[in-house]
Structure 1
Amino acid sequence: MALSLQAAPVQGDHTASRSRLLWMDIVRGAAILAVITFHSVTIVERYEFEAGLVWRNLNETLKLFRMPILIFLSGMLLPRSLAKPMPEYFWGKVRAILWPFFLWSTIYAGAAGVDLTSPYEVRHLYTGGSHLWFLGFIFVYYIAAKPLSRVDPLLVAAAAFTLSMISPDGAKYSERILYLMSLFFLGSAVSRHGELIGQVLRSPWIWVLTPLVAAAGYATARHDLNFGPNWVVVSAVGFLFFAAIAQRLEGVQIARPLVWIGQRSIVFYVSHAIFILLIARLAEGAGVTSYAATAAAAIALSLTGGWALATGMDRWAAVRWLFVLPGPARRSPA
């Protein structure tokens, strides 16, 4: 999955797998940073802080790209997962997706003050009512993918996209879930053509997309656009543009932190909102009035806390259990 505990290459020839893995990690890491900065606006503002117009608009420019790109990258890794036997496949999704979804939803409930005695709030929380909705969606897509493994993923993508187009505009559990499902299976279909992807991303003609991406970002901030089936071409153009940049950064030192974050993206994704909430509540209680200072502290703690958790996960089983369900992985005999 795109939110992963470790990097995984796309299917294709072995000579290019390392290159493809790195650019995917860079894009994934950058998308996670974009999600963190976005929530430094939306979560912090719940506590009577008001974001500056420039910072808010900068975050809005990426709205058509952040989540669609993460979903698409998840789909690109689907063929590798589908190669596993069914018991191992499903158990793996329960351990690495469903478990952190429920565990961190509960942690989020404690941090945000969700009333767990209210059936409505409990149902809302555990059906993706927090920042963790992405994991819930991804789990549904993976569960659907196994029985559909013999169907051309392009057909599945087309069917999901068609259904999203006729769904109520903006509806989370109809239009959005179906639209992102179409991107997930589209990513699976595209991953089978790794060499072609590499050629497209290496082409100098890719930079003709620059004004299109810039115009889309400006229009998104100006008119408060949101990702959906009407903007699928824009999101696809953004993926190609940012992936091309990432491919050219593979050998650059500045990209190494993005690779590191991308390979541990689930840690940063599930935990960052908790740290942002903590800072926002502390700032409010301390009488801090500066949004900029609060947001900067929230982003810094999200990255520091994510780094500590990701590092601890490699050293201590108890920390790893926060992200992978305890117990042996089920493996079928060869």
Structure 2
Amino acid sequence: MPGNTPPPRALWIDALRGVAILLVMVWHALVIGDDQRVQHGPIWETSVALQGLRMPTLFFLSGLLLPRALEKPVGPYIWGKWTNLVWPYLVWQLIALVQAPDLSLLRLTDWGPHNYLWFMFYLMVYFAVALVLRWMPPIAMLAVALTAFIVLGIVAEEGSQPMRLGIYAVWFFAGAACGRAFAEEKPGFSWDRAIVLFCFLAAGWVNRNVAGLSTNPEANPFVFVYVSVPTVGAAVAAALMFAGHRVFLPLQWVGRHGVIFYTAHFAVQVPIIIGLVDTNFSGPYAAVLGFLASVVVCSLLAALRSVTIVDALFSFPARLLPQAVRRGGRSVATQTSPTASQGGRGS
């Protein structure tokens, strides 16, 4: 039936998500070994400067699809989040805990947002809050998020989880507030978009060079959000103009399989980079090798997604769902699952 036909994928969203996820993977390759030979130079400095782009963009893009998800009944909404958000979080959190010698499977607190999977944990919180506030229009949800952000930015401890939850709630619910408008946007070049892009770039230059503002979210949450606004705005404007083109098919593909690249890359990079610490291939060689290996492995996993055991790493096995939920919930989860994102605390 035409009414049940899902809307076409927004390719520019896939491409922008793919860019953000690859930037997260680069960041992790640079920080895992904590090697001073890696943490300097243009690549490191650029990666540090892009802190205001990576995670805010991923949260913003995840929020864009919230209005569509909230149109579903409560049951399919919850099952959708379980299928493609909570389940892969638990699976890859288990793998991360096994890899980390200082963490324990038996400590409940170690299953929280203390590693690279914090992005997915935060999304679980935001989707739960959105379900409670589903009677509100998205713009009102954004107002609630902004209020919470201001309060937490003042009273919460610097760098704490509540403070960070407040920061990225702004971006997630900003995406939700923009969801309806962006759903109708067709990708392509226009002079209006070019002017918007130029204005965002100019604002970003002013923020960084004139005001000298930091892009570190743990230094000052208000400064971080202020600096991130023109950065994310420029990225979205550029993606709308260019990223829907077929030349960006590889990035679109990464973004489409973002949950795989986000969850699996860290488990590949850690043993390689850490394992090469005391060898002749430590430092920059290990970082490059870890990054390339994670891209290859994640690409293979994406290509093998149709294999049941591979799919079960990233999505709750559909055959275990009630049939009624299987029809409604899985589509919701597919549309709203994180593509991403993670990064460690400093992503």
TM bracket, shorter-chain basis: 0.7 to 0.9
Query: Residues 69 and 77 of structure 2 are in contact (CA less than 8 Å); yes or no, is this contact kept in structure 1?
Result: yes
- Write out per-residue CA displacement over residues 237-285 of structure 1, whole angstroms, 9 at most, x where no aligned residue: 1112111222232354441111001111010001111111021133125
Amino acid paired to 1:323: F
Distance, in Å, in 2 between the alignment partners of 1:85 and 1:70 is 25
TM-score (normalised: structure 1):
0.83
Task: Specify the SS of the correspondent of 2:230.
Answer: helix
What is the letter of the counterpart of residue 175 of structure 1? M
* 1:9 equivalent in structure 2: none
Mark the CA change 1:258 to 1:195 in structure 2 (over 3 Å): closer, same or farther.
Answer: closer
The Cα of 1:22 is off from its aligned counterpart by 1.3
User: 1:207 aligned to 2:195?
Assistant: no
Find the counterpart in structure 2 of residue 34 from structure 1: 23
Equivalent residue in structure 2 for 1:109, among 79, 89, 97: 97
One-letter code aligned to 2:158: G
> Which residue type is aligned with residue 304 of structure 1?
V
Choose from 243, 249, 270 the match for 1:256.
Answer: 249
Aligned AA (2:262)? Y
- Matched with 2:168 is 180
Distance 1:159 1:86 in 2: 26
Paired position in structure 2 for 1:243:
236
> 1:267: which partner in 2?
260
With over 3 angstroms needed to count, the CA separation of the structure-2 counterparts of 1:161 and 1:331, relative to structure 1, is farther
Identity score, percent? 26
Q: Is the 8 A contact 2:103 2:110 kept in 1?
A: no
CA distance in 2, matches of 1:202, 1:216: 21
Contact kept, 8 Å, 2:64 with 2:176, in 1: the verdict is yes
| Matched position secondary structure for 1:62 | helix
Does the 8 Å contact 1:44/1:280 carry over to 2?
yes
CA shift at 1:21, angstroms?
0.9
Corresponding residue of 1:149: 134
**Unaligned stretches of 5+ residues in structure 2:** 1-5, 329-347
Deviation readout 1:33-69 (Å, 9 max, x if unpaired)? 11001111111227x8643332221110101121111
Cα pair 1:63 1:220 within 8 Å, conserved: no
Alpha-carbon distance between aligned partners in 1 of 2:56 and 2:148, rounded to the nearest angstrom: 14
Task: Indicate if the aligned counterparts of 1:44 and 1:276 stay in contact, CA closer than 8 A.
Answer: no
Q: Could you tell me how far apart the structure 2 residues matched to 1:141 and 1:201 are?
A: 33
- Change in CA separation of 1:104 and 1:224 when aligned onto 2, cut-off 3 Å: same
The match for 2:159 among 171, 180, 194 is: 171
Deviations 1:199-249 (A, max 9, x none): 897243421322433565679999663363333232121112111222232
Partner Cα distance (1:38, 1:221) in 2: 23
**Residue of structure 1 in register with 2:283 after alignment:** 291
- In the alignment, the residues of structure 1 paired with residue 281 and residue 308 of structure 2 have an alpha-carbon distance, to the nearest angstrom, of 40
1:93-137 Cα distance to aligned partner (Å, 9 max, x none): 1121111111101111222334426x6xx3443111110011011
Q: Are 1:75 and 2:63 matched, yes or no?
A: yes
C-alpha contact 1:72 1:187 (8 A) present in aligned 2: yes
State how far apart, in whole Å, the 2-side matches of 1:100 and 1:175 are.
Answer: 25
RMSD value over aligned CA atoms?
A: 2.9
- Return 5+ residue gaps in structure 1 as ranges: 1-13
Closer, same or farther: CA 251–197 of 1 in aligned 2, 3 Å: closer
CA distance in 1, matches of 2:88, 2:70: 21
Secondary structure of the 1:61 match is helix
